Amino acid sequence: MTYTIIDVETTGRTNRMTEISIFKYDGHEVIDEFTTLINPEMSIPHYITALTGIDDQMVEDAPVFEEVAQQILDMTEDAVFVAHNVNFDYNIIRNEFKNIGISFNRKKLCTVRLSRKLLPGHRSYGLGNLCRDLEIPITDRHRAKGDAKATVILFEMLLKKDQNRTVIDTFLNPRSKQATLPSHLPTSVFENLPHQAGIYFFKDKRGKIIYIGKAKDIRKRVLSHFYSKSKKSLSMCRETRDIDFELSGSELLALLMEDFAIKKHNPFYNKQSKKFYKRYGIFSYQDMNGVTHLAYNTLGKTLRPLMTFQSIRDCRSFLELACLKFELCPKYCHLQEQVEVCNHFSIKTCKGICRNEESVEAYNQRVKQFINQITTVDENHIIEKQGRQPDESAFILIKNGEYKGYGFVDKEIQITDIDSFEHYLIPQQHNLDTERILRPYLMPSFELT
Report the alpha-carbon distance of residue 227 to residue 269 in Å, rounded: 17
User: Per the domain annotation, does 242 fall within a domain?
Assistant: yes
pLDDT digits (tens, 9 = 90+) for 316-343: 988 988 898 899 999 999 998 888 888 7
Any idea which of 135-144, 164-173, 356-365 has the lowest mean pLDDT?
Answer: 164-173
Same domain, 201 and 157: no
User: Per the domain annotation, does 200 fall within a domain?
Assistant: yes
Pair 137, 149: CB distance under 8 Å? no
User: Per the domain annotation, does 253 fall within a domain?
Assistant: yes
Same domain, 368 and 389: no
List CB contacts of 54: < 8 A, sequence separation 6 or more: 9, 18, 19, 37, 44, 48, 143
Report residue 229's pLDDT band, with 50, 70 and 90 as the boundaries: low
The amino acid sitting at 265 is H
Same domain, 147 and 199: no
Report the alpha-carbon distance of residue 384 to residue 421 in Å, rounded: 11
Given 374, 389, 406, the domain boundary residue is 374
User: Per the domain annotation, does 22 fall within a domain?
Assistant: yes
Same domain, 206 and 318: no
Given 374, 401, 434, the domain boundary residue is 374
Same domain, 171 and 199: no
What is the bridge-based pairing of β-strands 30-37 and 17-25? antiparallel
Residue span of the structural domain in which 404 resides = 381-442
| pLDDT given at position 235 | 83
Indicate the number of domains in the chain: 4
Report the alpha-carbon distance of residue 73 to residue 432 in Å, rounded: 53
User: Per the domain annotation, does 447 fall within a domain?
Assistant: no
User: Per the domain annotation, does 448 fall within a domain?
Assistant: no
Same domain, 285 and 243: no
User: Per the domain annotation, does 208 fall within a domain?
Assistant: yes
Same domain, 231 and 340: no
pLDDT digits (tens, 9 = 90+) for 102-116: 989 898 999 998 999
Same domain, 293 and 226: no
User: Per the domain annotation, does 8 fall within a domain?
Assistant: yes
Mean pLDDT of 111-131: 91
pLDDT at 448 over 50: no
Given 179, 213, 234, the domain boundary residue is 179
The amino acid sitting at 37 is L
Pair 4, 72: CB distance under 8 Å? no
pLDDT digits (tens, 9 = 90+) for 392-440: 999 999 887 788 999 999 888 877 778 888 889 999 998 878 877 887 6
Same domain, 311 and 213: no
Same domain, 154 and 9: yes
Same domain, 125 and 71: yes
Same domain, 268 and 388: no
Pair 81, 6: CB distance under 8 Å? yes
Mean pLDDT of the chain: 87
